[in-house]
C-alpha cells in the first residue's frame, strides 16, 4: 500500500457514500453522521500513529483500516434503517463484503489485504481473543482506540443537542430517562469492566458503557488524547449524581490518568 493507493481509496469513499444520501431527512442525518465519523476516525488514527511512532508505511495501512472500518454502515442503514447490529447484521462483516465487491484491495499484497480485512473484522468485538498473531493485533488495537475516540466525540456532541434534533440511530433507541441507570451497568463500571451493550436498558447505561471503554484503551497515546479531548467529564456530568455512580466514574477517571 503506497500513499497514492491510499489517496485513491479516499476518493473512492467520497464517491461511494454519495448515493446513500439520497433518502429522507432523518436518514440523511444518520448517513452524514457515519461519513463524518469515518473522516474523524482517520484523523484520530493519524494522531495515534504519530504518538505511537509507527513508520510511514505502517501509518498508511492504519489509516486505510480507519477509512474502511465502517463502510458496512452504509448498506446496513439502507437495508435495515438501523446501526444496531443485533437488529440487522454485523457491520464489520458487511464492510468486508463491500471491500470485496468493490475490489478495493486488489492492488495490495496478500499480507496487507489479510491484515486490513482482519483488523476491520475484529474492530467491533466486545473483547479481543487472547491469542492473536501480531502484527494484526496492533492494527486491531489502533482501530478500536481510534473508533472509540470518535464515538465519544459523537456522543458528547449529541448531548449538546436538543433531543428532537439528535440523529435517531445514534442513541440506538434507548429511552432517555434522567434518573435511570441499571445496577448491572453501574456494577460493571465499578469493578473495572466494560459495560455490555446488551445489559443497557436506558440512555444513561449507554453513557456508563462509554465511560467503561476507558478500560479498553490500548496505548498511552489513546489515553492522553482522551484526557486532552475532555469527553469523559462531560459524559459524567449528565449522569444521575448518586454515590454508587459517582464512585464508579471516579475510579474510571483515575484509571485514565494513571
Ligand atoms: Fe466506527
pLDDT in tens, 64-108: 999 999 999 999 999 999 998 988 999 999 999 999 999 999 999
CA–centroid distance, residue 247 to ligand 1 (Å): 29
Q: What is the rounded distance in angstroms from the CA atom of residue 235 to the CA atom of residue 73?
A: 25
Give residue 125's pLDDT band: very low, low, confident or very high (50, 70, 90): confident
Does residue 44 register a pLDDT over 70?
Answer: yes
Q: How far is the CA of 69 from the centre of ligand 1 (A)?
A: 6
Looking at the chain, how many residues does it have? 258
> How much distance in Å is there from the Cα of 248 to the middle of ligand 1?
26
Is 3-147 a domain of CATH 3.20.20?
no
Q: How confident is the model at residue 161 (pLDDT cuts 50, 70, 90)?
A: confident
Instruction: Give pLDDT, residue 169.
Output: 59
Distance 244 CA to ligand 1 centre (A): 30
Does 244 or 154 have the greater pLDDT score? 244
Q: Is the C-alpha dihedral spanning 94, 119, 13, 98 positive or negative?
A: negative
- Angstrom distances, CA of residue 85 to CA of 44, 90, 139, 144, 181: 24, 5, 22, 17, 23
Alpha carbon of 163 to ligand 1 centroid (Å): 22
Cα(239) to ligand 1 centroid in Å equals 24
- How close is the Cα of 243 to the center of ligand 1, in Å? 32
Q: Is the pLDDT of residue 134 over 80?
A: no
Contact 227, 252 (CB under 8 A): no
Instruction: Give pTM, 2 decimals.
Output: 0.91
**Which residues contact residue 23 at a Cβ distance below 8 angstroms, ignoring those fewer than 6 apart?**
31, 78
pLDDT of residue 235: 95
Res 133: pLDDT? 66
- Asked if the model's pLDDT at residue 238 lies above 70, the reply is yes
Compute the distance between CA of residue 236 and CA of residue 12 in angstroms, rounded to an integer. 38
CA of 246 to the centre of ligand 1 (A): 28
Evaluate if residue 168 carries a pLDDT over 90.
Answer: no
Residue ranges, comma separated, of all CATH 1.10.3210 domains in the chain are 3-147
Q: Where are the alpha helices (DSSP H) in the chain?
A: 3-17, 25-51, 56-68, 73-80, 91-101, 110-121, 136-160, 183-190, 203-212, 220-229, 231-237, 243-257
* C-alpha 145 – ligand 1 centre gap (Å): 10
Residue 110, pLDDT above cutoff 90: yes
Ligand 1 center to 125 CA (angstroms): 12
pLDDT tens-digit series, residues 191-227: 999 999 899 999 999 999 999 999 999 999 999 999 9
State the pLDDT confidence band at 173, using cuts at 50, 70 and 90: confident
Q: Residue 167 has what pLDDT? A: 67
Alpha-carbon span 206 to 176, nearest angstrom: 10
Do 156 and 232 meet the contact criterion of CB atoms below 8 Å apart? no
Position with higher pLDDT, 200 vs 133 = 200
- CA angle 7-43-152, nearest 5°? 140
- Distance, first Cα to last Cα, the chain: 36
Sign of torsion over alpha carbons 38, 39, 42, 47 = negative
pLDDT for 106 equals 94
Distance from residue 178's CA to the centre of ligand 1 (Å): 27
Q: Can you give the pLDDT at residue 170?
A: 64
Q: In this structure, what DSSP letter does residue 155 have?
A: H
Instruction: In whole angstroms, give the CA distance from residue 135 to residue 145.
Output: 16
Dist. CA 123 → ligand 1 center (Å)? 8
Ligand 1 center–CA 91 separation, angstroms: 10
Is the pLDDT confidence value at 127 over 90? no
The pLDDT score that the predictor gives to residue 135 is: 77
Residue 116 has pLDDT above 80, yes or no: yes
Distance between Cα 47 and ligand 1 center (Å): 16
For residues 113-130, average pLDDT: 87
Distance (angstroms) between ligand 1 centre and the Cα of 45 equals 12
Amino acid at each position: 500500500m503506497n500513499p497514492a493507493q491510499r489517496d485513491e481509496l479516499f476518493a473512492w469513499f467520497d464517491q461511494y457514500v454519495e448515493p446513500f444520501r439520497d433518502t429522507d431527512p432523518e436518514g440523511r442525518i444518520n448517513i452524514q453522521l457515519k461519513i463524518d465519523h469515518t473522516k474523524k476516525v482517520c484523523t484520530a488514527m493519524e494522531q495515534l500513529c504519530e504518538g505511537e511512532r509507527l513508520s510511514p508505511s505502517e501509518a498508511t495501512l492504519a489509516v486505510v483500516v480507519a477509512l474502511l472500518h465502517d463502510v458496512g454502515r452504509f448498506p446496513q442503514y439502507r437495508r435495515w434503517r438501523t446501526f444496531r447490529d443485533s437488529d440487522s447484521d454485523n457491520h464489520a462483516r458487511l464492510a468486508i463484503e463491500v471491500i470485496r465487491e468493490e475490489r478495493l484491495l486488489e492492488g495490495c499484497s496478500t499480507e496487507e489485504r489479510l491484515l486490513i480485512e482482519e483488523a476491520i473484522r475484529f474492530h467491533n468485538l466486545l473483547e479481543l481473543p487472547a491469542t492473536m498473531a501480531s502484527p494484526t493485533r496492533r492494527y486491531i488495537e489502533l482501530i478500536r482506540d481510534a473508533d472509540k475516540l470518535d464515538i465519544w466525540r459523537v456522543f458528547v456532541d449529541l448531548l449538546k443537542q436538543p433531543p428532537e434534533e439528535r440523529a435517531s440511530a445514534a442513541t440506538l433507541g434507548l429511552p432517555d430517562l434522567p434518573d435511570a441507570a441499571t445496577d448491572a451497568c453501574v456494577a460493571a463500571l465499578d469493578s473495572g469492566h466494560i459495560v455490555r451493550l446488551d445489559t443497557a436498558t436506558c440512555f444513561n447505561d449507554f453513557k456508563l458503557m462509554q465511560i467503561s471503554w476507558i478500560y479498553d484503551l490500548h496505548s498511552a497515546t489513546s489515553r492522553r488524547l482522551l484526557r486532552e479531548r475532555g469527553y469523559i467529564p462531560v459524559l459524567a456530568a449528565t449522569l444521575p449524581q448518586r454515590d454508587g455512580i459517582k464512585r464508579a466514574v471516579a475510579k474510571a477517571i483515575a484509571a485514565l490518568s494513571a
